Structures are given as C-alpha cells and as structure tokens.
Structure 1
Amino acid sequence: MPTESNHDIRAHEQDLLRLLEFNPQQGYIGLGGRRVMLMRSETFEGQRAELIEELGAERARSLYSRLGYADGTRDAGLAQQQRPDAALDEAFLVGPELHAVFGMAAVETVTIKTGDQQQSFYGEFLARGSIEADAHQKVYGLAPEPVCWMQSGYASGFASAFVGSPILFREVECMAMGDEACRLVGKPLAAWREQDPDAAYFHPLEFVNRFEPAEIQAETSDVEAALGQRVVGISAAFSLIMSRLKKVAPTQATVLLQGETGVGKEVFAKTLHRVSANPDGPFVGVNCAALPADLVEAELFGVERGGFTGAVNSRPGRFERADGGTLFLDEIGTLSFSAQGKLLRALQEREIERVGGTETRPVNTRVVAASNIDLFQAVEEGRFRRDLYYRLSVFPLQIPPLRERKEDIPLLMEYFRQKYTARHGIAAIGFTPQAVAGLMNYQFPGNIRELENMVERGVILAAGASLIGLHDLLGESELQQYLLTSKFDESSEQGPMERFTALLSADVEALPDIKQMERVLIDLALQKSGGNLAAAARLIGLTRRQFAYRVAQGASPGN
C-alpha cells in the first residue's frame, strides 16, 4: 500500500512520528519508550491463518480481539501524554493516527462525540487498506462476516481507557466482505447490550471478566458477594495465568500461588475452586500468619477433648472442614517447622490426626497454598522445609504485580466502581480521562488491593458528581508516591523555568490560557521543592491541600 510523503502528513501527526526511534546497531525499534517490531505482511498472514486452523475461528478471534484491546489501552495513556492541552475529541484522534503509524490501516473519522458524560459517547470511523482484511482475503477469499478483530479490539481498548468507561467498537462493514472500507462503530457497552450483541470475545475464558450486573443477576441474587469473587483482566500476563489455572482446576494437584502482597491470591484461589471438579464443596481459607504459634496444629488438624489445656470439646480442623473441597493456606511461609512436617504428611498420605488423638482420619481436600515471599529462597536460607516446598509446588503460579499488567487497570477500575456503587448506593457512572491516565502512570506498590481502596474512596468522595476524578482517587500518601515515581515533562526541550519565561514573553496575540500557566508553575514549584508537596505549596502561596488538589486535577508532572 503506498505511503504518504512527510510533506502530506498533517502537522498534528508529526508529534507521533517523532516518537519513533530506530537503532539498528542495538537491534531496537521504539515508539514512545515501548519496544516494537516490524513484521512482514506475509508473516502476519501465515500466523493468522495457522492460528485460525489450530484454534478455530472463534478462539482466534477472541485472542486477536484481546491483543488489540490491550494495545489500545496502552496507547490511550500515550495519547493523554502527547496532547495534554488538546480538546478531548482532538486528543482522542491519537488512537486512529497511531493505528496508521503501525501500518494497520488508514483511518478516517466519520463522527466522534465524546460529550460530558461517558454514556453519550459515539464514534464512527472508516479504515481503508486494513492489513487484517487483506490477510484474510488472500487465504480465505470473501468473508461472510467482519474479520478485522485486532482493529475492533484496539478501538474498544483505546476508547474505554481514554473515556473512562467501557466502550465497545463493532465492525459493521468490512473490506474482506467486499465493502469499500471497514466501518467501525463505537458506543458504551450498555447501549450495545440493549441490542444483545456478542461481546464475549473480550473474555479470555468463560469465567473471566464477568462482572456486568445483568450477567451476575442471572447467576445469583447476591450481586455484591459475587462481585467480590471475580477475576478481571485482559493483558497477556493475566491471560497466561488464567489459561494455566483452567488447566489445573479439574485435577487434584496441589497449587502454589506466589506474588507480592495485594495481587489477589485469594481471589485466584476462589476462582480455581469455582471452576474445579468440586465447585459445590467447601472453600476454607486460613491465614497462617494470623494463627498463634501454639494453636496452628489444632487449627489445621483439629483437636480431641483434653488434647491440651483448655480443650474441653473435640472439634474438627480446617482440613476436615474442607473435606470434599478446597483448603486455602495463605502466607504458608510463616508456619513453624513442626507444623510444616505435619502438613507434609497430610499432603502425602491424605490423612490427618487431631491434636491429642490417635485415630487417623482420611481427608479428600485439595490444598492451594500462597506466599508473598520467595519460598525457594526461604528453603535455601533454611527457613522452610525443602521436601514440603517440592510437595507444594506441584503446580506453581506466579501472579504478576499490577505494574506489569497495566492494560488491566481500566477494566479493574470499572469492576471496582460497579462493586462499590452497588455496596454504598452511590451513583458514579465512570471516571474522568485524567483519572484513568493518572492511574495508568502510577506504580501501585500495594497492587490490586491499593487500586480497590482508591476506587472505593473515589466512589464515596464523588457522591453527587457523575464522574470520579483523579483527586478523588489519590489520598495524600498515594499522591506523594505518584509524584515520586512520575517524571517531569521531559517531552519538552525546556525546563519549567524556561517554559514559564517563554509563556510570559509570548506575543500578546497568542497568550496561553490559565491552565498552561498553572501547569508550568506547579511543575516549577515541584522541581524546586524536590517533589515535597508542602514546600511546593508554600512557594506559590497555597495550602498543601489546595496544591495537592491542583496536582491531582491534572496539572502534574508528565501529564
């Protein structure tokens, strides 16, 4: 397909081309700090055809849709950074322009309506020269239905992350069907569902991303309880974990979940139980770190009357209570060596003895263990039994931290918004674009648990407002962390002082608006104070709270 010369490219696309970096000596091509690669169209054509033949058209479509969605989510953050002062409609066009830069298709805007409320979003685009349509036609000829799956997924992911609410783009015309161009129409997910479309292609598996109220109400009357047990994500890292979880779920194999604090290990354990061969059996969870050292064995294996001082009644332990189901042992690395030895025997023999008892009791309990420390390192340091480690790690799953699966952040934000608007009875229909962009740039040391707390706080603080802003989400500790991990505006060749001086000396016919002045002034104050909020506030005559509010509103480093 012929390309436009640089002279023909619109001026506002030049900023995107400047993001491209070619370094043949290092074997590196980059776009906006992310590594990319060139792929021949014949290679893509062969890859796509083989996936369709191996997986079937439905699974291949789901895979390509999710890959496109994740890519669009990442590019939405880039759009906010590249054009922070542009009107919402103009900044939104970064998505279609990036799609063209990557050689996927030349995109023409038919109409775009972002509006003040997410529920009024409407977008319609024409894509000409689609590489997906071309690849499909070369192998299969004319298609009976639209085939530009990555393109639809990309548009959906970009719009959802950019607007701050779930947006679904559907391809209603396709060049592979003989149409002149591919036509994509995007509307809020709720608006499509009124027409009963099939949005299932964005679910990596049948039990993932099922948190729409209508879907939950069809399964259970306890919507809030169900919302606490859902796994949500669309990134490649998340999809890999869920694929492995689905494979091990029907077996009786012991599973070891490892990951940082707050990544959601218990939610993954509950999901594993829910899709296991015994979903109706009990799920019993225990935090090993919360058990007193002298009562660990009694809690796990039970106790007979008189087994120790104060044991006036016999009672079953967690293993017996989980018989026929799943026992979740969280923070297993805190168990004493004595308890580790008895746990090893229970796993090997599938039987236990109560404390103070002599009777051996068989148990049919599937054990899922979890740890936020590296158990192998603990073994090497002599803090954990080697034989127990190998017994537990029959099927290890390493859950990645949220900072390594940022494509999942907009979906998780929407999930928690629905959860806490239902719990607190507060109407908040979505997030501002600045809120989504801000959290996409945040490092989340507390992982998903921290994000959940932020969204609950935002729902409460935004009561009476339709949209949740970044200032509603970030508390003082998170805001300080945000400033420490964010970068000052390095896309500009000038520092804050030079930018401020340039604005003041600008021609009277082209004076900047007050938002530009405020952003540069805040950047300058933060730079001079080394990121200290209180000191920066004093420099420009504001209280710390006033200053923090302005930073969270969007006048912040790198925003």
Structure 2
Amino acid sequence: MADIRFPGNADLRRLIRFSSENGLIWLDESRMVLMHAAALAELRKELVESVGAEQARRILTRMGFASGLRDAELAKKVRAGFSEQDAFVVGPQLHMLEGSVQVEAVKLDMDVASGRFHGEFIWEHSWEAEVHLQEHGQAHHPVCWMQIGYASGYTTGFMGRFILFKEVECAAMGTNHCRIVGRPVEEWPDADDYTPYYEADSIVSQLLELREQVETLRSSLNCPRKVTSLIGASAGFRHAFDLIEKAADTNVTVMLLGETGVGKERFARALHEMSPRNAAPFVAVNCAALPHDLIESELFGVERGAYTGAHASRAGKFERADGGTLFLDEIGELPLPAQAKLLRVVQEGELERLGDERVRKINVRLVAATNVDLMTAVQEGRFRRDLFYRLNVYPVTIPPLRDRIADIPPLVEAMLDRYCTLHGKRIAGVTERAMQALKRHDWPGNVRELENIIERGVILSPNNGAIEAEHLFIGGEVSGRTHESPDSAGLLETEGGRPAEDLCQRILESGIDLESFEGQLLECALQKANGNLSAAARALGMTRPQLDYRLKKSARPKQ
C-alpha cells in the first residue's frame, strides 16, 4: 500500500466557524448545517420506501455530487500555489471534517493539465454503510451513494472533466471497510451502468418540473400581465404591486410614497406598462433636479419670446406625455406658482404654455412620488392643500428594502445578470455568507444602494468566481463577530472579533522575544507548505528572496 500522507488540516479547520450569536455554521463562505446521522438515515429510508431504491440512489448521488463540486471550488482557493496532490486532498480532508467518513489514500496518480487521474481510497466509519446495516442488515450491493457522489463531484470539479468513482468494496456488504476507485468516465467499460445516477432526467425531476409548470400556469392565470421591470416576493412588495395592478386599468392619479431608492420610478413604469396607455409615452421628471425658474417651462412648455433666451416654441413634459403617463418624482419640491398651474392641469385636463394664451387639452395619467411628508409641508405652507388632496387620491406605499428581506435574493440575481453583461464578466453568483451579510444590512439607500454594492462586487470578484462577503464593503456586517473553530482535537476554540489585536496580546503575554517568534513563524509556514519556499512566501505575504533572507538571518548564530 502506498504511503500517501495528507498535509495538516489546520487551514481547513480555520474555515469552519461556529457563530453562537446568530446560530450559523460556516465553511468559508458556505453555510453548513450540523445534522444527526439518524435524521439522514430516516431521510434515506423514506426516499427508498417512497420512490424506490433506484430513484433514492439517484437523488442521494446527485446531492453528494453537488456538495463535492462546491468543495472543489473551495480547494482551489484554499491551497492555491500548493502541489496538485496537496490541493486535491482538500476533498478527502473536508469529507472527514464534515463527519462523513475517514479517508485513507491508497493510490493517487493525477495530472490536471492532461486530464490523467487514477485514485484509490479506503473509507472507514462510513455513515451510510453503518445506517444501512442498522436499518436493513447486510447489503448485496454498495450503499454509500451520497459519498460516492461526493467523490465523483469533487474530483470532476477539481479536474475539469467527469471522473467517475465506483465503490468496489462496501462495509455494508460484510467487508472491513469501503474501497473506492476513480477514473475518467470513458475508461470504465461499464460506465453506462453508473452515469444515469448523475443525470437529472429522473422520475422525481420530471414530477418536480411538472409541478413547476402547473405553478407557472396558475400564476399566469392569476396575473396575466407579467411585469419584468419589477422584482420581488415579500408580502410588502406584493401588497404594493397588487395596488398598482388594480389601478392600472383606471385613470386615477397615483401617489407613490417611500424612502429614497425604493424604486418609485420602476413602480410608475410598471403601472404604465400594465395600463391601456402602454403604447403611448412614459415621461419621468425629477422636480428636485429642475431649477425653480425653469420648472414651469419644462412642465407646461414655452412660446417663442416668452422670456429672454426663449428663441423657439417648445412643448413641455405634459404635452410630450399626451396619451401616456407622466411621472413627477420629488413633487414636494415644486414651487408654489408651479403647484397652482399643476392643480389646473389635474382638475381641468388643460394647460397654457408659458407666454401663450391658447389653452391646450391634454390626456395624461399622472403619477406623483415623494419621500417627504406632504401633510407636514401643507401645514407649513410649502405645499398647496387643494393640490395635495387632488394628488393623494390613490396612495401606494413602497416599503423600504430592510422590510423586504425576501426580495433581496431575486433582486441580486437580476442585478448580477445586468452587471455581468455590462462589465463583460462571468460570475457564479453570491456566496451564502455574502447573502447573509446582504440580508443583515440596514439598507439606508434601499434598492439603489444594493445596485451599487452588487456592481462593485461584480467588478471585484474573479472571473468565473463568486462574490464573497469581502467584496461587498458592508463594514462590520461581515467581520468583527465572535466565532468558534475546531482545533486539532475537535474542541472549539473561540476567536474574537479583533483577531490581530488578540494575537498580538497573546504573543506579548507569552514572553517570547521577537526574533524567536519570527523564526518559529517562518518554520511553521515552511511546514504548512511542505518545504515549498514559494508557497511559504506567498502565505507570509512576501517574495521568495525576502523569505530566503529572513531564513538565513534566523539561522545565523547569535553573537
């Protein structure tokens, strides 16, 4: 038997963090769940009894395959710069840390560049073999379905080609341990007997697909006009959307209320798209962005010679929106003279251009929006009371993003598609830890702030990688929390929110001098990198010549 030693797993143990504050367990950026093996055994039993052994095997194999693929991405990240073998065995080491099985390497011949792979491993204490023996007694065929799926998924993800593992011995069949062998799928003469377990076209998948189709059909019947510009699933979003939908077929003036950045203009556009006016123009005006002396001409139009600089007659926003919808954002910023003219347009459906005596009839659906309390403005004399009541016929409040946490994942998905296209990048998505940070954030800037953060994440994250928590720049939302990680004995060690400061404090309390500490640190980095100077230098954040110099300096006899 070949003596293939696994490197130390301290780097992997540090990736496992137990956060007692919020009940979360993390493996780097992925959320984990600690479950009873008995619960998994019950799930396995229910699957076998409900859909049959073949379908249960397919489901569990695919579950393991998906888990292995995720760990393969983690391995490339954690041990970048290490040898291929030391980087690859992250998978078996994680499989052990995750409590599935004890792994011993028998043979490992691999080369990622050429795609060559031949691996053989022994499994001890397989949870799947143990629960099968407890539930059903000795088996007539291998039963470690989820674990064999993990091995195949991990190796496939690491090698970049489909590597199929087979369980050639299984403890549930009476042997002392399980033994697995992995090779490229085309090297197995009986591969066709095993590949169906990795394919999605199972009966269960078809049933799930049919159910999704029924749900989609039901949704289309309940909401025949799909509005792609609005995204949300929360109760607050659905309530606001329902109000908009009910108003769409009418000509009622709609007042959109909500904080800055909640998406009032998008709701106004959705109202227009769902209305019979959708073939006519939608015109948006930010009243706060217009100079006060130009507001009237911008809204109502101007005739040539009405004032110095008016060299030509020009239609205003109302005329341009004739037959369609006019959206007036920040309407509370309108000066009182403009408010008086606006009241006439709302009441009579007619206007006069600045410098003109001719009355022009218009047919416009008005949607107003504000993030201030207009009633307070009325009481302070800054907003006309009669105009307020004319505009406030049908108020719709759009809740802030912090009250719509369920809307964050679909919003993020849509924003990723948009910004990946804009910046020409391929992003795998947002890690679970990053998504948790997004959900914890208070979002004072609402959806607009989320857009900025996701765009920044797309720019900072590596191509074909995922947006991690560190790419989001949400201050203390990610770091600075106390968590616990397992030590080499499996016991939990508490790590505070300020690790650098705590480490310095412990070093000072130990009484070790700086020169001795530096020597021990260099030696530790070399051991972790298995003597690879370049990898050790990268871990220490220095160049190889700098490391060479420090090693020679620490080895120099003291005077």
TM-score, reference length from structure 1:
0.53
Matched, 1:83 2:25: yes
1:125 alignment partner in structure 2: none
How far 1:88 sits from its partner (Å)?
Answer: 5.5
CA RMSD of aligned residues (A): 4.2
Using the alignment, how far apart are the partners of 1:446 and 1:192 within structure 2?
42
Give CA deviations for 1:287-313 in whole Å, capped at 9, x if unaligned. 111111111100000001111111111
- Give the CA deviation at 1:202: 7.1
Give 1:510 deviation, angstroms: 3.5
Q: What residue is the counterpart of 1:509 in the other structure?
A: 489
CA 1:194/1:456 → structure 2, altered by over 3 Å: closer, same or farther?
Answer: farther
Larger radius of gyration: 2
- 1:479 matches 2:475: yes
SS at match of 1:284: strand
- Residue equivalent to 2:294: 295
How far is the alpha carbon of 1:442 from its aligned partner? Answer: 0.7
Partner of 1:174: none
Shift of 1:459: 1.1
Partner of 1:509, secondary structure, is coil
1:252 aligned residue? 251
Whether the aligned pair in 2 keeps the contact of 1:208 and 1:231 (CA below 8 Å) is no
User: What whole-Å deviation, never above 9, does each CA across 1:286-342 have from its counterpart, x for those lacking one?
Assistant: 111111111110000000111111111111000000000000101110000010011
Percent identity at matched positions? 42
Deviations 1:167-209 (A, max 9, x none): xxxxxxxxxxxxxxxxxx999xxx9999785262678845557
Asked if 1:521 is matched to 2:499, the reply is yes
Return closer, same or farther for 1:86/1:470 CA change in 2, 3 Å cut-off: closer
Is 1:455–2:454 an aligned residue pair?
Answer: yes
- Take 2:316 and 2:207, find their aligned partners in 1: how far apart are those partners? 47
- Cα separation, partners in 2 of 1:314 and 1:420, compared to 1, 3 Å: same
The 5 A counterparts of 1:310-459 are 310-459=309-458
Measure, in 1, the Cα distance between the counterparts of 2:35 and 2:276. Answer: 48
Which amino acid counterpart does residue 479 of structure 1 have in structure 2? G
Alignment of 1:110-129 (within 5 A): 111=60, 112-113=63-64, 114-115=66-67
Q: Deviations 1:462-484 (Å, cap 9, x if unpaired)?
A: 1424211111222xxx315x37x
Amino acid at match of 2:323: G
- State the SS of the aligned residue for 2:255: strand
SS in 2 for 1:83: strand
Offset of 1:509 from its aligned partner? Answer: 3.1
1:259-290: CA deviation from partner (whole Å, max 9, x where unpaired): 11100111111111000111000001111111
For residues 331 and 397 of structure 2, the distance between their equivalents in structure 1, rounded to whole angstroms, comes to 15
TM-aligned CA distance change 1:429 to 1:209, over 3 Å? farther
Mapped to 1, the partners of 2:377 and 2:397 lie a distance apart of: 16
Structure 1 residues 400 and 274: alpha-carbon distance in aligned structure 2, compared to 1, 3 A threshold: same
Rounded Cα–Cα distance in structure 2 between residues aligned with 1:280 and 1:260: 30
**Quick one: distance in 2 between partners of 1:266 and 1:471?**
31
- Three-state SS of the structure 2 residue aligned to 1:294 is coil
* Distance (whole Å) between structure 2 residues aligned to residue 208 and residue 236 of structure 1: 18
Q: How many residues align?
A: 337
Distance 1:354 1:428, change over 3 A: same
CA distance in 1, matches of 2:300, 2:500: 60
**In 1, are the aligned partners of 2:257 and 2:398 still within 8 Å (CA)?**
yes
Q: CA 1:457/1:521 → structure 2, altered by over 3 Å: closer, same or farther?
A: same
Between the aligned partners of 2:455 and 2:405, the Cα distance in structure 1 is 19
Deviation at residue 390 of structure 1 after TM alignment: 0.6
Unaligned runs of 5+ in 2: 1-19, 43-49, 51-55, 74-198, 504-559
SS at match of 1:328: strand
Change (3 A) 1:309 1:209: closer
Aligned-pair CA distance for 1:90: 4.7
Q: Match of 1:470? A: 469
> Any conservation in 2 of the 1:406–1:440 contact (CA below 8 Å)?
yes
Query: Residue 243 of structure 1 corresponds to which residue in structure 2?
Result: 242
In 2, are the aligned partners of 1:324 and 1:365 still within 8 Å (CA)? yes
Q: Cα deviation per residue 1:482-538 (whole Å; 9 max; x = unaligned)?
A: 37xx9955xx9xxxxxx89xx9xx8x734557xx6476737979xxxxxxxxxxxxx
In structure 2, the residue corresponding to 1:285 is in which secondary structure? Answer: strand
Q: Is the 8 A contact 1:300 1:317 kept in 2?
A: yes
CA deviation after TM superposition for structure 1 residue 384, in Å: 1.0
Cα distance between partner residues in 2 of 1:509 and 1:120: 25
CA distance in 1, matches of 2:498, 2:235: 37
Match of 1:305 in 2: 304
SS of alignment partner, residue 489 of structure 2: helix
Aligned letter for 1:392? Answer: L
Equivalent residues of 1:420, 1:459 under 8 A apart: yes
Q: What SS does structure 2 have at the residue aligned with 1:434?
A: helix
Q: TM-score, normalised by structure 2?
A: 0.53
Gaps of at least 5 residues in structure 1 are 1-18, 20-31, 33-77, 101-107, 122-184, 211-229, 493-498, 526-559
Find the aligned partners of 1:86 and 1:467 in 2 and give their Cα distance: 12
